[in-house]
Structure 1
Amino acid sequence: MYGKKKLTAAASLVALSLSLAMAACGGSDTMTAPQARQSETGMPMMSPSMGMPSPGMSMGPGGTFGAACAALPTDPAMAGSLEQMGQQPLASAAAGNPQLSTLVAAITKAGLADTLNSAPELTVFAPSNDAFSQVPKADLDRVMADPELLKKVLTYHVVTGNLAPDQLDGSHKTVEGQDLKISGSGTDFKVNDTATITCGNIKTKNGTVYILDGVLMPPA
């Protein structure tokens, strides 16, 4: 319905795929992750599970990258900080992130919070509040009012397993069943040639979050 427009939208993983498939039957259809260790110079050291940065890649605390990461709370005791998100499962971590409140509302409405929280490993491409604000209100209201369509759209933003930055470039099958195409390297990535990763490699207890500036629409 949206054509090439971005919808303005935040987890081993057979369990998740099966649970979503069962929930969508009859229709198509947001921890303790490794923290960055400090070297003797005080700079963060990447743990193997975070993935190695690409050449020339500027990594922030915990291996994050992207301008929007500056909006995350810096007080480690605050909800939505890297430290707090790292100790929580995906949906709970997203609930504390100031950029993902609209996505969290959609996840709750679709009944996916428990599924995202209990999955072993997921990568979530999470549309920010600004991304959702770009979707025409009538279109967003229609999706939010249709549980099956909402679930289809949200699970199109979820990939099984933890994708490190150096694994992003390429095609990835989503929990919804269709593929996402990601292109780029370093700190510059586009998803489906429409959305940009604005804050990436955020670790949660059971997954990784990449915040997007656009909502992705699964192909018809």
Structure 2
Amino acid sequence: MRFIRTRTARVAGAALFAVPLALGGLASQSHAQDASPSPSGTFGSGCSALSQKTDTAKDKVTEAAAAYPQLSQLVSATVRAKLSDAFDGKPDVTVFAPNNQAFQKVTVSQLVSLLGDPGQLKKVLTYHVVDKQITPDQLSKGSFTTVEGGKLTTSGSGSTFKVNGEANIVCGNIKAANATIYVIDSVLKPPS
């Protein structure tokens, strides 16, 4: 009789211990389902507005960016700074590519000054490039060292992300042969 009571008490104790664990497991699974997953393909509210000439997956990053008319000012600045070969020669990069509207936010005098100073232009452009491929799931709380040497941060969730808390990623995860491109709506300023 004593053996049965002890065994019953152990089973009851185990059941009392197991119920909270099971509920905790369900709670964490429920929480995991509430979190928005990172996009696996191209994403962003501005992707439909990006007109693309061709498939860019086999092109090096400069040629891939040139396929998008909305990135023409960035491509022009990259050529002017003589960075095309440098970016195309890297095996894996991520480019936070300001679109033409981003350049329109810069005052004319600032843009003329930037384009007239090759050293500063190179500094600004290389601040938009990270020397590794960044996947969408790394964007939620990212901190990356740029080719320029400064830090760049990303934040957000789902398909809504910001760079340095100011620039929106309007179309992301565009593939090139050696790069991932995230189109942004502001020109980033490297830290002084």
TM-score computed with the length of structure 1 as normaliser:
0.68
1:94 and 2:54 are equivalent in the alignment: no
Larger RCO: 1 or 2 (CA < 8 Å, sep 6+): 1
Separation in 2 of the partners of 1:120 and 1:87?
13
**Partner of residue 100, structure 2:** 129
Q: Does structure 1 retain, via aligned residues, the 8 Å contact 2:102–2:184?
A: yes
**Given residue 171 of structure 2, which amino acid in structure 1 is its aligned partner?**
C
Separation in 1 of the partners of 2:38 and 2:127?
28
Separation in 1 of the partners of 2:47 and 2:163?
18
What stretches of structure 2 of length at least 5 have no aligned partner?
Answer: 1-33
Structure label with greater radius of gyration: 2
Q: For 1:39-88, what per-residue CA distance to the aligned partner results, in whole angstroms no more than 9, with x for missing partners?
A: xxxxxxxxxxxxxxx953585xx700001110234xxxx62x4xx21110
Separation in 2 of the partners of 1:71 and 1:118?
29
**Partner of residue 42, structure 2:** 64
Counterpart pick for 2:132 among 146, 161, 183: 161
Aligned residues: 158
TM-score computed with the length of structure 2 as normaliser:
0.78
Q: Does structure 1 retain, via aligned residues, the 8 Å contact 2:144–2:153?
A: yes
Q: Does structure 2 retain, via aligned residues, the 8 Å contact 1:159–1:172?
A: yes
Greater share of helix: 2
Runs of 4+ residues over 3 Å off in structure 1: 54-59
Q: For 1:78-134, what per-residue CA distance to the aligned partner results, in whole angstroms no more than 9, with x for missing partners?
A: 62x4xx211100001111112100000100000001111111000000000000001
Separation in 2 of the partners of 1:91 and 1:191?
21
**Given residue 211 of structure 1, which amino acid in structure 2 is its aligned partner?**
V
Q: Does structure 2 retain, via aligned residues, the 8 Å contact 1:58–1:65?
A: no
Counterpart pick for 2:156 among 184, 201, 210: 184
What stretches of structure 1 of length at least 5 have no aligned partner?
Answer: 1-53
